[in-house]
Chains A and B, each alone.
Chain A
Amino acid sequence: MKANITEYLRVNLDTEQWECRSCNNELAPARGNYKRGLLVYDRDPREIHKPLVDPKLYDYTFSPDPAYTALLEYYCPHCGTMIETEYTVPGHPPVHDIELDIDDLKKKVHAWGDIPDTPEIPDTPIERHVHNH
């Protein structure tokens, strides 16, 4: 039994391991933090969000300020997929963002039966304000 937990993470409920959905390799024990099975890179946020106005002319450039923003990139150690990003403050302990009750998940997945790899997602029709004046 398996459960897809994010775009790139899956829990194998038989082996109780986090797995990478891109390369199918095991990452870490499912009862723990998946991040422990990943690689982390402390990316200078200015490399992704490049300055658009000249940093020589201005303090504010559309780039995040690296004193206020750390950008942690989490990679699968096997295939290099970027499984998650985390925008935080330099030195702040990374967030343990997903903590699953594996025993409950086993029960739920069993009850759900086969989970399609790409579930059907309803596109709820929304009525928007119509501009009519």
Chain B
Amino acid sequence: MTMNNTEVHTLSDEEQGLIDQFLIDNQLFYGPDPDIMRNHGLAPRSDAEESILSSDLDLQKVNMVRGRLTAALDETHTMVEQMGVAPGAKWGDLVTAIFTANGDMAQTGTFGIVVFASVCQYPVKFIKKYWVDEDTVGVRDGDAFIHNDSRYGNIHNTDQSLMMPVFWEGQLVCWVSSTIHEGENGAIEPGGMPSIAETKYDEGLKMSPFKIVENFKLRRDIVTFLQNSVRDPKLQLADMKVKLHSILRLRERVLAVIEEFGVDYLQGTLRKSLEDTETEVRRRIEEMPNGISRVNTFIDGDLREDVLAKMPMEIRVKDSRMIWNLKGTSPEFTNRSINVVMGSLKTCLLTSLILYVWPDLPKNQAVFSAVEVEMDENSLVNASDEAPNAMSLLPIFRCFSMPPMTMGKLNYCMPNRYTAINANTYSQPATLVYGGLTQHGEVTGNFCADINGNGTGGRENKDGEHSLSPVFGYMADTGEMELAEEELPYIRLVAQKLAKDRVGFGKFRGGMGYEQIATVKNSTEFGFMTGQCGSKHPSAYGLFGGYACPAYPMARIKNINIFETFKNNPEQFDFDMITLMNERKITDGDYYVQDAGMNFELCNEGEIYMICQGSGGGYGDVLDRDPKLVAKDLEEELISPDLAEDIYKVICDPNKFIVDEAATEQARKAERKARIQRGIPYDEFVAQWVTPEPAEDLPYMGSWGDDHSTLIVSPPGEKRYSIPAGSAGVMFSNPKDRRIAELEAELAALKNIT
């Protein structure tokens, strides 16, 4: 045939086959595979699955197999938790999981962190696609593969997974995995979550899936290479062993199931669980009313500078289709660390359904396979492979809190509710990341357990729970501080004291967070980092008239030695962050309150660092809160008397906690009247209040309003511009360069004056 006057030779099937094979054989680099990374659906049934599922499976037996696998997953979970060396392992930031032979994540244990397992489908599928037929690698009985790079499917590079194929009579019948939030990974800052990473090469270990176990044993040469690449070689070795032994046990249990029930029951159960889950999710979607629900959220910092990055979510339901749309999100920050890989983000959206909307569903990948997702390319939630994503948690944590809000607005009308509608759980990774030299002379880096104490949102039928669990998993916990203090030179002066007055107010209030005050002793080389936003714009919103959590900065007192203070002037210390910072009684200290994204710095012995875990959002109108519950909040010292009166309009004796009901009724009536007086009709309000673009000096990123085709880009220190959505990321200048330029300008101005 001819095209543009050029003779085009049509290839025969054989020729095309040769070219395809040549290209496959000569691929320069097996990078992250978009065919794998962009597909969150289930793999098609394999021939084996097809034949098994078209036969009559005995459902009693299927149920027994599923129960046996659950027991095996719980057993191996406990093994990792008991033996794991990573701090995260001790608080439940781990999972063991089983995958179909095709790599679909089919089952986790009762306590496992679902995102970790679900995100592992990608590397398993990569190994299957690339290493099975690669004669220099191969996938054989006794092999296991390690992986941590998010670009091949991971939440962030601080988590490490070990994945093992399970063979039966020479056939690969399923995969098992074990994942831990390890912490240290050799990144530019210690602890595994570097906030200052400007390129992916600052993120430390970047393991594409590779073989590290042969004949059921770790390869010591490769282990040594990995140990040599991180600040905590002991941790790296120990936890690889722990993960290996957990998957060996899991493999043993799986083989026992096969021996007892037959391999068809194993594979049939795994596949059937997935297909049944997908069917049930489709049924639930069809049950929902058709409609659209939207929320706009805003991330107020990128851990290097203040920015205001929009991250909206729209849910559209139309019959059996449900579409989750994140278009309009800020462009990716190509040299900042808070970007997310699309595939990872989807597994968090999946988990939010399990945690906050349909908690009765089985924990597998099919929970999300029926949901369609729309995102812009080169956006914060769908970043390019070059963009760093070490602190992806900032947008990711939002993926757990936005769906319950949007789904809640469509689900509230339904007579059949699967759980209570809830306001946002606090959505920041609020913790001290640490690193340096310990009192035992060892180098380390990791993070503290307080990250797992987010307050949950108020619900339609009760208050949120205080400091319950991380936003990504109700099953995780906050560990023993004393154990950590034995190993590390940090000391907790105040631990897990509920942060008074920091609450999402509502008819049902959010559960509150706690304060942490930490210092360092017996090390001259140890320091901290924090990686949160939400210091200017609240990160957990209220629902149906409830208020959000407050903003949370962090605080430091430098150039003191609190141990000297304890010895000489103990009266200067107070077990309360607010009092310490307001009264400034510790003499000669330098007092700072700053945004909660603090890059790593050394903490000299006795200097103190203070952070807050946050509150969930409130549910419903504050004037509808039962006055007795407000009195209880006062009695429990959750709030100050002035807040009871100002916010809740509850008149209460602050000493006896007895409500003056008549006065309260009157105050609330007056407030309702005042609202009607000060409120402006919506159309009139919009006409006068809405502006064509954000305030000139606001570092705003993302769409403005509902038109998501154009994104506003306002990098600090540069002129604002617009781009077509999805077209490009944004590069930032160095904040220190901007500060130097500012100071030079000031200096020049001063010189001109004199």
Q: Which residues of A contact B (CB under 8 A)?
A: 3-8, 11, 33, 35-42, 45, 48-50, 52-54, 57-65, 67-69, 71, 73-75, 77-85, 87-101, 104-105, 108-109, 112-113, 115-116, 119-124, 126-129, 131, 133
Which B positions have Cβ atoms within 8 angstroms of A? Answer: 81-82, 90-92, 110-111, 287, 289-296, 298, 300, 306, 308, 310, 312, 318, 359-360, 409-410, 412-420, 460-461, 469, 474-477, 480, 501-502, 505, 507, 535-538, 541-542, 544-548, 550-553, 555, 578, 581-582, 584, 591, 593-595, 619-624, 643, 646-647, 671-676, 678-683, 685-686, 689-691, 693-695, 698, 700, 704-706
A91 with B678, Cβ < 8 A, contacts A58-B581, A85-B546, A99-B291 known: no
| Contact present for A92 and B475 (CB under 8 Å) | no
Q: Is the CB of B420 within 8 A of A87?
A: no
Among B414, B505, B551, B581, max chain A CB count under 10 A is at B551
Q: Which of B295, B536, B547, B690 contacts A93 (CB 8 A)?
A: B690
Flag if A115 contacts B415 (CB, 8 Å): yes
Q: What are the 5 closest A-B residue pairs judged by CB atoms, nearest first?
A: A39-B679, A80-B672, A91-B691, A60-B553, A7-B544
Partner of A101, one of B289, B418, B474: B289
Query: Which partner residue on chain A sits nearest B593 by CB separation?
Result: A58
- Report the separation of the CA atoms of residues A88 and B705 in the bound assembly, to the nearest whole angstrom: 11
How far apart sit A74 and B366, CA to CA, in the bound complex (Å)?
38
Max count, chain A CB within 10 A of own CB: residue among B417, B502, B620, B679: B679
Residues of A within 8 Å of B418, CB to CB, are 122, 124
* CB nearest neighbor in A for B688: A42
Give the distance in Å from the alpha carbon of A65 to the alpha carbon of B13 in the complex: 65
Shortest CB-to-CB span from A51 to chain B, Å, is 9
Instruction: From B82, B111, B553, B578, name the one whose CB has the most chain A CB atoms within 10 angstroms.
Output: B553
Q: Which B-chain residue is minimally distant from A133 (CB atoms)?
A: B82
> B413: which A residues are within 8 A, CB to CB?
3-5, 11, 105, 109, 115
Residue of A nearest to B699 (CB): A68
Q: Quick check: A112 and B415 within 8 Å, CB to CB? A: yes
> Could you say which residues of chain B place their CB within 8 Å of the CB of A101?
289-291, 318
Q: A119-B415, A128-B469 given as contacts; is B545 within 8 A of A39 (CB)? A: no
Give the complex CA separation of A101 and B675 in angstroms.
Answer: 31
Q: Could you show 26 A-B contacts with beta carbons less than 8 Å apart?
A: A6-B544, A38-B679, A40-B680, A48-B505, A52-B501, A52-B502, A52-B550, A58-B581, A60-B595, A63-B550, A68-B300, A68-B698, A80-B673, A83-B544, A85-B542, A92-B705, A96-B706, A97-B293, A98-B292, A108-B287, A112-B415, A115-B415, A123-B419, A123-B420, A128-B469, A131-B480
Which one of A49, A52, A122, A126 contacts B538 once the chains associate, using CB atoms below 8 Å? A49
Minimum Cβ distance to chain A for residue B107 (Å): 15
Contact B292 A7 (CB under 8 A): no
In the complex, chain A residues whose CB is within 8 Å of the CB of B691? 90-91
A99 near B292 (CB under 8 angstroms)? Answer: yes
Instruction: Check A82–B704 contact: CB distance below 8 A.
Output: no
How far is A65 from B546 in the complex, measured between Cα atoms in Å? 19
Decide: A82 near B537, CB < 8 A? Known: A104-B290, A129-B476. Answer: no
Interchain CB contact under 8 A, B689 and A42: yes
A44, B591: Cα distance in complex, Å: 27
**Besides A82-B675, A108-B289, 20 other A-B contacts (C-beta < 8 A):** A7-B545, A8-B545, A39-B681, A40-B681, A52-B550, A53-B555, A61-B553, A62-B553, A67-B536, A68-B298, A69-B536, A74-B545, A89-B698, A91-B693, A116-B415, A122-B360, A127-B475, A129-B81, A129-B475, A133-B82
Give the CA-CA distance A96 to B409 in the complex, in Å.
Answer: 12
Contact partner of B694 (CB less than 8 A), chosen from A36, A48, A61, A91, is A91
What is the distance, in angstroms, from A107's C-beta to the closest C-beta of chain B?
9
> How many angstroms from the CA of A62 to the CA of B552 in the assembled complex?
5
Q: A87-B538, A105-B289 are in contact. Are A37 and B682 (CB under 8 A)?
A: yes
Report if A128-B294 is in contact (Cβ < 8 Å); known contacts: A64-B536, A85-B547, A121-B420.
Answer: no
